Amino acid sequence: MRKLAVDELDRKSIEEFKDAPKLPVVVVLDNVRSLNNVGSAFRTCDAFLIQKLYLGGITGTPPHRDIQKTALGATESVEWEYVRNTIDLVKQLKDEGYRIIAVEQVDESRPLHEFKMNPGSRYCLIFGNEVFGVDEQLIALSDECIEIPQEGTKHSLNISVSLGIVIWEFWKSSCNS
């Protein structure tokens, strides 16, 4: 066994990435404060061929050195858009037929491992502020809330970690559809 060299990883060019079929998922970051978390979101969206990343409210936007530091160039491959009003965006996506999924701990949330993607459906995953989570108005607009089961004392993961876990599960689910 040996570690692969960078030129053996079969990386897509930016053009190949843009032309590649995407996972039927858009990601919404609502009022995410940490620019490093925003950069990590770009990188994860690139890794799993996410359709689009929306940056809402106070969420920082490229170009910014702290975003670039963790995005490692994914701001050039991932389609993204800034929206001032995340609520209006989510209403629009719902009207366009996206199934709205908030990633939040609520009284009726479903454990992530029990969620399965429906073939032919499109999804909008909402991730909220690092301290306050997903806005209550966005939860009310959601078709469903999912959460990552946790057994420790914190029941709180960094948004970049949560985003990676959730998108990985959606990617796996799409492969099994």
Q: Which residue, chain included where needed, has tokens 């050195």?
A: 65
Phi, psi angles (nearest 5°) of residue 27: -115, 135
Does residue 108 sit within a domain?
A: yes
| Contact predicate 34/128, CB 8 Å | no
Q: What is the pTM of this model?
A: 0.95
Where residue 79 sits, what CATH number does that domain have? Answer: 3.40.1280.10
Task: Show pLDDT as tens, one digit a residue, over the chain (177 residues).
Answer: 999 998 899 899 999 999 999 999 999 999 999 999 999 999 999 999 999 999 999 999 999 999 999 999 999 999 999 999 999 999 999 999 999 999 999 999 999 999 989 989 999 999 999 999 999 999 999 999 999 999 999 988 999 999 999 999 999 988 776
| Domains contained in the chain, number | 1
Domain limits for position 38? 20-148+155-175
Does residue 73 sit within a domain?
A: yes
